[in-house]
Structure 1
Amino acid sequence: MSNREQLPISPRMPQFRARELRRKGYIPGILYDNGNQSIPVLFGKKNVDDFIRYTGRNAVFDIS
């Protein structure tokens, strides 16, 4: 079994709009748990770009 790469995330405050966050260099997202509870998160655009460049477009990753 191969090692999974990690992609860092941050919690997202709901008062910031997605368009504003994208302009600031973040990628907004939502994680869903088994109870269908949604958790708003932020990915750094540079982190995602580097991750895709390193692993390709189809990869399994852990979030940290």
Structure 2
Amino acid sequence: MRTGPTKQEKTTEIYFDEKDPTIFIRTHNTDLKNRLTAYSRKHPAVCKLTDVDPDTGCKEFE
């Protein structure tokens, strides 16, 4: 029996607006999560990991 989200439910959401320079990224994509995690470690003043959902494997970055 399979548990967890389906491929269709595994999305990447990117939020930003013209007023605020901050971009919020929420993703299930493994390659993108790995790249953003490495980037946030290398450039902590620019990018940070803000949330991890261990149940769905989703990570959020700011």
Q: Give TM-score scaled by structure 2 length.
A: 0.32
Is the strand fraction higher in 1 or 2? 1
Q: Give TM-score scaled by structure 1 length.
A: 0.32
| Bigger relative contact order, structure 1 or 2 (CA pairs below 8 A, ≥6 apart) | 1
